[in-house]
Amino acid sequence: APIPAPDLKSCSRATITNGPEVPYSCCPSIPEDLDKVPYYKFPSMTKLRIRPPAHAVDEEYIAKYNLATSRMRELDKDPKDPRGFKQQANVHCAYCNGAYKIDGKELQVHESWLFFPFHRWYLYFYERILGSLIDDPTFALPYWNWDNPKGMRLPPMFDVPGSSIYDARRNPHVRCGTIIDLGSYGNETKTTELQTMTNNLTHMYRQMITNAPCPLLFFGKPYRLGTAPKPGAGTIENIPHTPVHIWTGTVLGSKLENGDTSFGENMGNFYSAGLDPVFYCHHGNVDRMWNEWKQIGGKRRDLTDKDWLNSEFFFYDENRNPWRVRVRDCLDSKKMGYDYAPMPTPWRNFKP
């Protein structure tokens, strides 16, 4: 059977990955009519939202994005407002750090076939909330174009201290245009920038083409009601998704500004990743890889297993309304109202 939407009443304290309890509650507020939360209906739309590559946006876009994010941060004054910046980050914490129980076991959206659809829905609502806070129904999140040499560094707009999309809890090495190593789980190798970029394209070729010729390899292993969480991640979740998190967050075991020992905050731990605005930009590109992968051809298609298609999540929308959403309704991003501004995908010809 499919994984049902979490029972909000079962939500309890989350646990920091490889650490103690999260020192605050990540649980969302419980809607009044919990038993009658309806299935999501797509609002009518007139124009697609086109998500731009984050390294190539103009000043006007940056200003809008910062304004929307600062308004979202202001909503944190009401801790019950599900649209608030912290509440949105807590969505990730609740779904990924054991706050929800399904059938007596932890609900976990990573390391299984729920990875792509969960994050797609999560960004969908996050983007709509940002757009509604600036009255712009066409506002679209940026994507971190790390699969292209032009985007293989922290997008510059995120590296402006004091701006609303800045996060002080990043590894200092992400600053000033350092090239990211998409294959690294934390050990830095000394090599030239050109070599790192070349290696990155090779990683992309492997994860998108060589290692993911059929759906389960790309999406991740089946996760059904009654089975154990984290059966196994798909290719892109493993690399480069997780290395980008680790690369961006603080160094494990270092001291945070408040004296606490780092568990990778913010980007490098599930419970805190959503507190860095670049999280949603990173996941924009992860999500774009889903679309790109389907275009490569062969057997690269969405899964047809009913347990995947009928799995459900719970989200609040930009009007604070609660919804149940299904995997089957998120397979086509254009039908959801958004698409990606095209960028070249040089890894496609990068056979090792």
In the complex, which residues of this chain contact ligand C2O (CB under 6 A)? 92, 96, 110, 119, 241, 245, 273, 283
203 is in an annotated binding site: no
* Nearest one of 346, 233, 256, 228 to 292, comparing CA atoms: 346
Which residues pair with residue 314 across a beta bridge? 324
Q: Look at strands 312-316 and 49-51 and give their pairing.
A: unpaired
* Closer CB to ligand C2O, 5 or 93, in the complex: 93
Q: What are the backbone angles phi and psi of residue 339, rounded to the nearest 5°?
A: -150, 175
∠ Cα 166 137 119 (to 5°): 55
Of the two residues 248 and 262, which places its CB atom closer to ligand C2O in the complex? 248
Which of 62/129 has CB closer to ligand C2O?
A: 129
CB of 282 to ligand C2O, least distance (A): 6
Q: Are 171 and 155 in contact (CB under 8 A)?
A: no
- Residue 169 CA, chain-centre distance (Å), reads 18
177/200 Cα distance (integer angstroms)? 16
Cβ–Cβ under 8 Å, residues 141 and 158: no
Query: Taking the complex as a whole, how short is the minimal distance between the CB of residue 309 and ligand C2O, in angstroms?
Result: 21
Rg, the chain, Cα only? 19
62 or 248: CB nearest ligand C2O:
248
324: phi then psi, degrees, rounded to nearest 5: -100, 135
Catalytic residues: 92, 110, 119, 241, 245, 270, 283
245 known ligand binder: yes
Judge whether 283 is annotated as a binding position.
Answer: yes
Q: 274 near 92, Cβ under 8 Å? A: yes
Tokens linked to 110? 């990573």
Distance of closest approach, residue 233 Cβ to ligand C2O, in angstroms:
11
User: According to the annotation, is 173 in a ligand binding site?
Assistant: no
Q: Exposure pattern of 161-183 as b/e (b: 16+ CB <10 Å)? A: eeebbbbebbbeebeeebbbbbb
Q: How far is the CB of 117 from ligand C2O (least distance, A)?
A: 12
CB of 267 to ligand C2O, least distance (A): 8
Cis before 240? omega within 30: yes
Q: Which residues are annotated as a binding site?
A: 92, 110, 119, 241, 245, 283
Q: Which residues are annotated as a binding site for Cu cation?
A: 92, 110, 119, 241, 245, 283
